[in-house]
């Protein structure tokens, strides 16, 4: 296949034009790729039942074939048709959190192509809470596999511009619905084990899940290096205040690096770096999550050699901290001044 021309269509995020959604749905129905906004991040969509389309999606994203995709649906009814069995907990969670930023992992129905699920026997399902995503799913009349619309391992996109930076000329269409409301990916919950395990923290907290299903735990998995900007990242945990942050920046600059600093309004105060990005006030966890990827991408655009990121604490910061720990090559423990490795480049 030759290089497709990527059509960008502006769509009203609150009241999407039916004609634009219809065109995008036709692209999906004929096996093409469409990037579209959700309330979390932009997704790179393909018909989940179309093996060739899904295979091409993996190739375009440069994603390892064994890493499964999230399949997007309009509602629970459509979701359960893609699962081999549906526990009562799934019903309860869908009632409470769908449409919304929760992905539920269930046993895969045999009719869903294996390739969509990374070759495995489980399927990740989510009903997104965004009028464009919902309209597209309704008109496509089929489930849509959509990973975040970034090259594998890199920072997720929260604007159409971010999508184009990675994929211009590689997809048929991008629906531009402006900036994503939450800015960080969904919580992924595995319901194929007991107690259920959170595989990835997101906008739905562990506490909120426990209120619905009782017990749920964090998955203890090796931290993989993902969500990574081009520049290397050092994460400085914050408990000891800003002095350690300043020392890490100063040391890197003294070594000749152009250093980008990303942190809270309170944390970056008085710290001198080459470029500074503020992702919000310390107490505003949702605001920080919304700005996290925008700040990291801006620092890459500013061509820094190293990004020093301020760690986050407090309720609601788990998802952002998970992404920063994964992205970081080094983590500086501010309390003890010690260092440990961040996300590891796992062999695939
Ligand atoms: O908010 C989101 O979840 C966004 C939007 C577009 O919906 N999507 C997204 O997809 O972040 P992706 O592919 O970038 O991340 C999906 C995560 C990966 O960590 C993947 O390993 C996990 O979900 N996952 C998908 N299917 C799975 C399965 N069957 N079992 C376990 N984990 C799964
Ligand atoms: Mg992703």
Predicted local distance difference test score (pLDDT) of residue 344:
66
pLDDT exceeds cutoff 50 at 348: no
Lowest-confidence region among 17-26, 133-142, 214-223, 332-341? 332-341
Three-state secondary structure string covering 43-86 = EEEEECCCHHHHHHHHHHHCCCCCCCCEEECCCHHHHHCCECCC
The rounded Å distance from CA 223 to ligand 1 centre is 15
* C-alpha span between 27 and 21 (Å, rounded): 10
**Domain parsing of the chain, residue ranges:** 7-189, 232-341
The rounded Å distance from CA 73 to ligand 2 centre is 18
The rounded Å distance from CA 197 to ligand 2 centre is 19
Q: Which residues are CB-neighbours of 136 under 8 A, at least 6 positions away?
A: 21, 24, 25, 28, 34, 36, 45, 144, 175
Residue 237: pLDDT band with limits 50, 70, 90: confident
pLDDT digits (tens, 9 = 90+) for 298-343: 999 999 999 999 999 888 999 999 999 999 999 998 666 677 777 7
Superfamily for the 7-189 domain: DHBP synthase (3.90.870.10)
Ion ligand 2 neighbours (CB, 5 A) are 148
Mutate which of 84, 116, 185, 224 for ligand 1 pocket (most atoms within 8 A of beta carbon):
185
Mutate which of 36, 42, 68, 202 for ligand 1 pocket (most atoms within 8 A of beta carbon):
68
pTM of the prediction? 0.96
Q: Which residues are CB-neighbours of 297 under 8 A, at least 6 positions away?
A: 155, 162, 165, 229
**1, two tokens:** 């296949």
Using a 6 Å cutoff on CB, does residue 73 contact ligand 1?
no
The rounded Å distance from CA 148 to ligand 2 centre is 4
pLDDT digits (tens, 9 = 90+) for 75-124: 999 999 999 999 999 999 999 999 999 999 999 999 999 999 999 999 99
* C-alpha span between 199 and 246 (Å, rounded): 33
Residue 220: pLDDT band with limits 50, 70, 90: confident
Predicted local distance difference test score (pLDDT) of residue 313:
87
Tell me which fold the domain 232-341 belongs to: Rossmann fold (3.40.50)
pLDDT exceeds cutoff 80 at 164: yes
* C-alpha span between 344 and 21 (Å, rounded): 40
The rounded Å distance from CA 188 to ligand 1 centre is 7
pLDDT digits (tens, 9 = 90+) for 25-46: 999 999 999 999 999 999 999 9
Residue 108 has what DSSP assignment?
B
Rounding to the nearest 10 degrees, give the CA dihedral for residues 262, 267, 270, 276.
10
Nearest atom in ligand 1 to 186's CA: 1
């Amino acid at each position: 296949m030759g290089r497709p021309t990527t059509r960008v269509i502006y769509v009203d995020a609150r009241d999407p034009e039916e004609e634009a959604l219809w065109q995008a749905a036709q692209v999906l129905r004929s096996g093409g790729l469409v990037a579209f906004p959700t309330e979390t991040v932009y997704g790179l969509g393909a018909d989940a039942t179309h093996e060739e389309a899904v295979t091409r999606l993996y190739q375009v994203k440069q994603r390892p074939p064994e890493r499964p995709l999230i399949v997007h649906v309009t509602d629970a009814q459509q979701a359960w048709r893609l699962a081999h069995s549906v526990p009562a907990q799934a019903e309860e969670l869908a009632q409470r959190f769908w449409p919304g930023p929760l992905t539920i992992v269930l046993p895969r129905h045999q009719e869903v192509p294996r390739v969509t699920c990374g070759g495995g026997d489980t399927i990740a399902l989510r009903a997104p809470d965004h009028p464009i995503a919902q309209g597209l799913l309704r008109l496509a009349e089929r489930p849509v596999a959509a990973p975040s619309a970034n090259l594998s391992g890199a920072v997720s996109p929260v604007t159409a511009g971010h999508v184009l930076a990675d994929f211009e000329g590689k997809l048929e269409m991008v629906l531009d619905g402006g900036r994503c409301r939450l800015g960080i990916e969904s919580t992924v919950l595995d319901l194929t084990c007991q107690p259920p395990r959170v595989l990835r923290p997101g906008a739905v907290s562990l506490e909120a899940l426990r209120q619905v299903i009782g017990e749920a735990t964090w998955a203890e998995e090796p931290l993989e290096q993902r969500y990574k900007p081009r520049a290397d990242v050092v994460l400085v945990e914050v408990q000891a205040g800003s002095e350690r942050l300043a020392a890490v920046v100063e040391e890197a600059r003294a070594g000749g690096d152009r250093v980008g600093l990303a942190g809270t309004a309170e944390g970056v105060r008085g710290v001198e770096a080459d470029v500074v990005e503020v992702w919000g006030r310390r107490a505003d966890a949702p605001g920080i999550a919304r700005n996290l990827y925008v700040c990291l991408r801006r620092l890459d655009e500013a061509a820094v050699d190293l990004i020093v990121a301020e760690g986050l604490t407090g309720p609601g910061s788990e998802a952002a901290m998970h992404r920063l720990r994964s992205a970081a090559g080094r983590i500086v423990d501010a309390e003890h001044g010690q260092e440990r490795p961040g996300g590891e480049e796992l062999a695939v």
